[in-house]
Chains A and B, each alone.
Chain A
Amino acid sequence: SDDTPEVLNRALSNLSSRWKNWWVRGILTLAMITFFFIIIYLGPMVLMTIVMCVQIKCFHEIITIGYNVYHSYDLPWFRTLSWYFLLCVNYFFYGETVTDYFFTLVQREEPLRILSKYHRFISFALYLTGFCMFVLSLVKKHYRLQFYMFGWTHVTLLIVVTQSHLIIHNLFEGMIWFIVPISCVICNDIMAYMFGFFFGRTPLIKLSPKKTWEGFIGGFFSTVLFGWLLSYVMSGYRCFTCPVEFNNDTNSFTVDCEPSELFQLQEYNIPLVLQSVVGWKTVRMYPFQIHSIALSTFASLIGPFGGFFASGFKRAFKIKDFANTIPGHGGIMDRFDCQYLMATFVNVYIASFIRGPNPSKLIQQFLTLRPDQQLHIFNTLKAHLVDRGIL
């Protein structure tokens, strides 16, 4: 169905349909980007809420496709069970995040403390209830359909919910780890389209006939450059580079800290090869910009595979778009298909190369050990510190 708002329809009624489509896409793109800036301005709490809403909408879109494919909208219990499983998995993940980041808040409130101590058990019990309800809901003529929808729901949960939580983890690490990857994927999308539009000649992959090698390569270089510049601009501001913390006294999120080494300007020697080209001997830049090259390279080279996967999926189930939520663009999933791999990559990247373990979490775990174990660890740590000359 044509979802374009009336306003736009009237304004563009004179143009031919091809240009009209181009304008609708363009206007909506600008609207989405503006919206993105607004919520960044509004802060981490609003961002978390938006991520949650996007997740729920994506889940709903994919499940609806499943219903359409299998004509299984009327399966007994199934709609309820899908939403129930979504709730369970979200409860599990949010519980883990809340326990980590809101530790002092949780310790203060008695009911929260118990919920957090037995969190895994409670989540598992909730999931099991859903599982048993599924088994009891199996109806003679519909076994196969029900198993298909069960499998479909679980794969969707795996894709949508886990990644949205990885995005939130990245966000807590520092808004820059949220903004730069997402912007790189968006930039790659737009740049590849532009380069393809103006220079596109050689098709890239049979799955997506509109993509071309020229677009792909042009998009790659533009994205790396864009990521570099964006990181340079953002690394200067504390509100982007500091980890998000929850302040117990003011009961709000704060982003205030001593910027880590990654976000302090350093002088680098330019390799001789580039010196003649660029004309400088040294350059001042943030170490984070080097990481941004890794992020933008991934966004341009591997991110598109998420898009190809979604294209293949749409062809397999003979649908044009995931849904009609955004005029000119399709569903929310259509916009976010490349973001999924990116979110996981950034999370793995941070865990492997940037962030060490969280000291307050370690202290938490320490306090639950037995006294003799505590003493043993304390003595080993002391010996290690003396060894390194720190103590």
Chain B
Amino acid sequence: EVDLEERLCELDLKSDSDVPDVPPPTDSTPEILKRALSGLSARWKNWWIRGILSLAMISGFFLIIYLGSFMLMLLVLSIQVKCYHEIITIGYRVYHSYDLPWFRSLSWYFLLCVNYFFYGETVADYFATFVQRREQLQFLIRYHRFISFALYLTGFCMFVLSLVKKHYRLQFYMFAWTHVTLLITVTQSHLVIQNLFEGMIWFLVPISSVICNDITAYIFGFFFGRTPLIKLSPKKTWEGFIGGFFSTVVFGFIFSYFLAQHQYFVCPVEYNSETNRFVTECEPSELFQMKKYSVPPLLQAVLGWETVHMYPFQMHSFALSIFASLIGPFGGFFASGFKRAFKIKDFADTIPGHGGIMDRFDCQYLMATFVHVYITSFIRGPNPSKLLKQLLILQPEQQLSVYKTLKSHLVEKGILQPSLRG
């Protein structure tokens, strides 16, 4: 019997060509589609399947948007779990480690821990009034970090205790694989949810820009593609890349114009404790109020207008769509490299014609982080209710000194009348 450890040591050192291929994914196209398209040639059939599934996914997307923030959160969570599962399964296949003692349970346990940690941080912030009312939740929130850390440590100790003599290396590989996957999928899905809470427009515009870039780059490449872009993805061309860039910027600009008019998309999502529902109602911030901009003389000649009415958000949409078209594709190249490294064609075969969920979402990951960093750096100030919550936890002497500092600041700025005595 060949020692698995020895075989894997050799596997590590050999070049890529010696890695055994993973068996090709089974064809999971639904029967109805197969029958409807049985007449066409294989190439057109593939095109039609991809097209129909794309439309199906986009319609599903619109439906969920209509159903509201809570459904969106659930959707994001499900996608995260599925992506995690797909990547971990690839790890099992690469290392033939599906039967490692405890490992499947430990992977799911770590997923649960990290999600618990992130959801606790988010929930505490946005559901402050809901949490205040319930004693048990208060305790969980106050010691949240400690509880999360204790849960994680339990998993860590279980891992150490599960190390088995012949499988040390495999177990460490899977441990690292799990952690890197968590880092990629879970953190980003939480950033997506935080963007969502900022306002649905911050969720919709970035995701649509990435999808638009995907589709238009494909179309431009299909009709005009000549010069290859990067060795990693031989199907991508410079014509597709540039065409996709301009189309996405225009699309983002126009799409933001339409979304910025509706409170439903523009307002931060808030949880109303009386009705126990999410509400998106507010006074639209400055970003979403029409302003008059002077067209620079350069463009005046081209467009023929001297001033133009648009939303300030549309300027931000430039930044978002530029990122989606220029840097977003690197997420796709990374995933392509990963698939080539581990000799897989697709992450999974969940979606007929498209592959796995990860295949659709590989470009979205960098986008989600970028939008979050963009919002915290350029748009949003600190969250007032979080600030208030922290103020109320301070010691009385600290609260008094903070109160005095604030009062003098407000009086100085003229926001507070000095004659009022507190």
Contact = CB atoms under 8 A, between A and B. Distances in A.
A124 B153 contact: no
B393 A348 contact: no
A11 interface: no
B145 interface: yes
A308 B156 CA distance: 11
B293 interface: no
B133 interface: no
B325 to A, nearest CB: 14
A138 B232 contact: yes
B379 to A, nearest CB: 11
Contacts of A121: 373-374, 377-378
A359 B398 contact: yes
A362 B387 contact: yes
Interface on chain A toward B: helix, strand, loop, or mixed SS?
A: helix
Contacts of B177: 151
Given A344-B149, A348-B149, A368 B337 contact: no
A369 B383 CA distance: 9
Interface string A370-391: 1101111110111011101011
A246 to B, nearest CB: 19
A365 interface: yes
B109 to A, nearest CB: 16
Contact of A315 (B159, B168, B407): B168
B265 interface: no
Contacts of B398: 356, 359
A31 interface: no
A135 B149 contact: no
A141 interface: yes
Interface stretch (B8-16, B246-254, B266-274): B8-16
B374 A143 contact: no
B153 A143 contact: no
A368 B160 contact: no
Interface string A86-127: 000000000000000000000000000000011011001000
Contacts of A386: 422
Contact of B400 (A369, A374, A390): A390
A146 interface: yes
B406 A374 contact: yes
Interface stretch (B217-225, B235-243, B302-310, B408-416): B408-416
Q: How large is the interface on A (under 10, 10 to 19, 20 to 34, 35 or more residues)?
A: 35 or more
B146 A349 contact: yes
Interface stretch (A74-82, A152-160, A218-226, A279-287): A152-160
Given A305-B157, A365-B387, A128 B366 contact: yes
A381 B163 contact: no
B396 to A, nearest CB: 5
Contact of A377 (B342, B384, B399): B384
A93 to B, nearest CB: 15
B330 interface: yes
A363 B394 contact: no
A378 B376 contact: no
A353 B149 CA distance: 14
B327 A132 contact: yes
B53 interface: no
Contact of A391 (B19, B403, B415): B403
A70 B416 contact: no
B406 to A, nearest CB: 5
Contacts of B165: 206
B43 interface: no
A312 interface: yes
A370 B380 CA distance: 11
B303 to A, nearest CB: 31
A136 to B, nearest CB: 8
Interface in A350-365: 351-353, 356-357, 359, 362-363, 365
Q: Which of B176, B342, B392, B406 has the most CB of A within 10 A?
A: B406
Nearest to B152: A344
Nearest to B415: A371
B179 A147 contact: no
A147 B341 contact: yes
B143 A352 contact: yes
Nearest to B157: A305
B370 interface: yes
B149 A375 contact: no
B102 interface: no
B74 interface: no
Given A121-B378, A369-B384, A375 B416 contact: yes
Interface in B36-75: none
A363 B172 contact: no
Contacts of A368: 381-382
Contacts of A345: 149, 153
Interface string A129-140: 001101110101
Interface in B120-159: 142-143, 145-146, 149, 153, 156-157, 159
A69 interface: yes
B231 interface: yes
Nearest to B19: A144
Contacts of A367: 409
A378 to B, nearest CB: 5
A381 B402 contact: yes
A148 B342 CA distance: 11
Given A390-B399, A391-B422, A370 B381 contact: yes
B384 A362 contact: no
A335 interface: no
B275 interface: no
B149 A356 contact: no
A349 to B, nearest CB: 7
Contacts of A141: 15-17
A147 B177 CA distance: 11
B93 to A, nearest CB: 14
A373 B385 CA distance: 9
Most buried by B among A138, A205, A351: A138
B169 A316 contact: yes
7 contacts: A151-B177, A152-B176, A305-B156, A363-B405, A366-B387, A377-B388, A381-B388
Given A154-B183, A365-B382, 7 more contacts: A70-B13, A155-B176, A205-B161, A312-B160, A370-B381, A377-B384, A382-B403
Interface of B: 12-13, 15-17, 19, 142-143, 145-146, 149, 153, 156-157, 159-161, 163, 165, 168-169, 171-172, 176-177, 179-180, 183, 230-232, 327, 330, 333-334, 337-338, 340-342, 366, 369-370, 373-374, 376-378, 381-382, 384, 387-388, 390-396, 398-403, 405-407, 409-410, 413, 415-416, 422
Give the top 7 A-B pairs by smallest Cβ distance, nearest first: A143-B341, A316-B168, A352-B146, A365-B382, A121-B377, A357-B390, A316-B169
